């Protein structure tokens, strides 16, 4: 595989593209391969423009990943402190 194909493969996997939009994911990979396989500047430019559009669609369709933020971290620490206090109060 080429550099573009490798990068797009990783991004599609991270976006769960094969699960949410398998056709678009395969199209993105095919476009990436065509970019890697040609030396014609015009063909690369056209495939690159189409690849950008397909990847934008995949990013929009990707499920929102729930990542913890500072509030979640504080809530988790508070829950741990409460659990430890309950355990200590219970004689543990």
Query: Where do the structural domains in the chain lie, given as residue ranges?
Result: 3-65
* pLDDT, position 40: 97
For the stretch 30-52, pLDDT in tens is 999 999 999 999 999 999 999 99
* pLDDT, position 6: 96
Phi, psi of 44 (to 5 degrees): -65, -40
Residues of the chain with pLDDT under 50: none
CA 89 to chain centre: 44
Neighbours of 81 (CB within 10 A): 10
Contact 44, 35 (CB under 8 A): yes
Q: Which residue in 20, 77, 29 sits closest to 51, CA to CA?
A: 29
* pLDDT, position 89: 87
């Amino acid at each position: 595989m080429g550099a573009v194909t490798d990068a797009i493969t990783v991004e599609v996997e991270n976006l769960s593209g094969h699960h949410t939009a398998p056709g678009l994911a395969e199209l993105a990979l095919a476009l990436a391969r065509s970019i890697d396989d040609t030396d014609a500047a015009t063909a690369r430019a056209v495939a690159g423009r189409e690849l950008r559009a397909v990847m934008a669609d995949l990013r929009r369709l990707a499920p929102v990943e729930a990542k913890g933020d500072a509030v979640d971290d504080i809530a988790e620490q508070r829950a741990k402190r409460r659990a430890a206090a309950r355990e200590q109060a219970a004689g543990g």
